[in-house]
Structure 1
């Protein structure tokens, strides 16, 4: 156990028993009402790859769904990495410094994805490295987030997917949730430990489960091990979030992604739902009026403080319009659709 985890444990954090350093919560599951006033969460399920070298941006531009070559130093973007058949192998939050492009992704995917991307570097002047070790990622959100961070940083990133570099680390404003701005702060354990007392005094201490719940309510999907190669980007709304650039050059799966966008109406989307039962990514859902085959799959889920989960669920638009979906089978626990933070085509969800 490292000093940061020991510090969090002394402040009430519950650490995973597998020695991974994962911090799911601070002793209890929190819901939207608990988090909306303001929260701070160690985010312990993310990995970070730095791609460095003269050709780093060009190399990634030819691999990912979004424009990397024109990624500005004051912004962040979502992106996906697809198979040749257009299915997502990973989703990233990416940003760049003067030396490197950074790719944040689910930690469980990082070793294999980093190895796979490295195989395609070939003669490009680009090198991939794991740079997550020794850094701390904090997620801060809710109504009190801005007022709590301003004394530490001064000016904050002004809009979603903008960022600043600061002596205290990198601060990125990500998609809003619960009606307020959210930020992720990448810093050193020493800086995090220095700031924690003030943060925890003003904000509700929470764990990674709470940050996942906030991501879900922001409508932001993340591919994990259980959902690799299940979805074309549009199925999880990635292009609605600015994670796909349809004007850039080719990348693996580009033709299929473009065809899904321009040839015919999209038939599948991801929506937000509450489920009064445990559920996890990769679990199937069924429409009551079509019980013989699944109509969709859970993309991400997180405990919602009420014994169940809130989830992003990919499914057929026809099932969304019909509205009666169940977990696991047509006789399973019902899904209760919740409002999405952005429009899904012509659907009012």
Structure 2
């Protein structure tokens, strides 16, 4: 009897320990993304000739960030590419799936490939320092490093920069088991999730910014989105020339301040004569503590000189600019 009580007491303590640890895990629904499925006998070969990442490196244990560029070397769309069975799945920003399909379709005439929208029943974002306990019930091997992934017949788990994980549910039949495993989740990304992405320097291209930026401006050339060792793809010559021969005057920077950002915010640097033209904010999050964050393209020299920054039209809304450090610098291995 005494041994049984000791066992029950230990089990109770273990349950309390797991509950307390699981409280550090935050789970969010991510309904804002869109997906494009590419399949067919020539799917991988076709994508290799159209996108900036090296599709030869794609596997069920490795996802790839990438971009589609136009002939002038400007970014049409960015994406994360995962292999699910025999198909390739591209996750992109909201409003960009049809743009990707339309762009790629122009080059797919002579390839045995099919492009179509894919709508996963559920996409979850997982943030925190105790996701292993829950996720090992779904996958025998968890992604340990950025860009690693794990795939089953019904789900895809991807490790992202900033301590984030994404779980793509490919079959609605597993949704109830996910609800049982995670309990309730937030219906949209929370501030912590958005802040983790912004601090990681992740700037996505949406309908308003499509074909407006070069990869250099968005730091795609130093964050693993562009692979400079692969063969040709649309816009590759321009992108490579800018990287190897050009010296960028502007790059993506992290901005921090107490003033609230909006989707229409622009950041400006004070000059000695007159305010410079503001640059649009590409991503932002307003937080209750720790300062509000945003990503915007800015003049490299202005940041290095320590110039004062502010929100356009609000001279009192001062900002601090800082360079971004990336977890995945090279995409050439």
TM-score w.r.t. structure 1 length? Answer: 0.78
Unaligned 5+ segments in structure 2 are: 1-22
Indicate the residue corresponding to 1:230 in structure 2.
Answer: 212
Indicate the residue corresponding to 2:70 in structure 1.
Answer: 83
Indicate the residue corresponding to 2:304 in structure 1.
Answer: 321
Aligned counterpart in structure 1 of residue 30 of structure 2, from 43, 47, 55: 43
Q: Does the 8 Å contact 1:80/1:88 carry over to 2?
A: yes
Q: Does the 8 Å contact 1:319/1:325 carry over to 2?
A: no
| Alpha carbons of structure 1 residues 120 and 37: separation in structure 2 relative to 1, 3 Å | same
Aligned counterpart in structure 2 of residue 208 of structure 1, from 177, 189, 207: 189
Indicate the residue corresponding to 1:115 in structure 2.
Answer: 102
TM alignment of 1:13-162, pairs within 5 A: 37-132=24-119, 134-162=120-148
Q: Give the root-mean-square deviation of aligned CA atoms.
A: 2.8
Structure 1 residue 119 displacement after superposition: 2.2
Q: Could you tell which deviates more after superposition, 288-297 or 107-116? A: 288-297
Unaligned 5+ segments in structure 1 are: 1-35
Q: Could you tell which deviates more after superposition, 264-273 or 46-55? A: 264-273
- 1:304 maps to 2:287: yes
TM alignment of 1:143-222, pairs within 5 A: 143-175=129-161, 177=162, 181-187=163-169, 188-200=171-183, 205=186, 207-210=188-191, 211-222=193-204
Structure 1 residue 169 displacement after superposition: 0.8
Structure 1 residue 336 displacement after superposition: 2.6
Q: Could you tell which deviates more after superposition, 274-283 or 182-191? A: 274-283
Q: How many residues were matched structurally? A: 303
Q: Could you tell which deviates more after superposition, 87-96 or 286-295? A: 286-295
| Alpha carbons of structure 1 residues 340 and 310: separation in structure 2 relative to 1, 3 Å | same
Q: Deviations over 1:177-205 (max 9, x none)?
A: 2xxx321001144433432354247xx74
Indicate the residue corresponding to 1:8 in structure 2.
Answer: none
Max Rg structure = 2
3-state SS of paired residue (2:254): strand
| Alpha carbons of structure 1 residues 189 and 53: separation in structure 2 relative to 1, 3 Å | closer
> How far, CA to CA, are the matches of 2:183 and 2:222 in structure 1?
34
Structure 1 residue 338 displacement after superposition: 5.5
Q: Could you tell which deviates more after superposition, 40-49 or 94-103? A: 94-103
TM-score w.r.t. structure 2 length? Answer: 0.81
3-state SS of paired residue (2:56): coil
> How far, CA to CA, are the matches of 2:75 and 2:316 in structure 1?
28
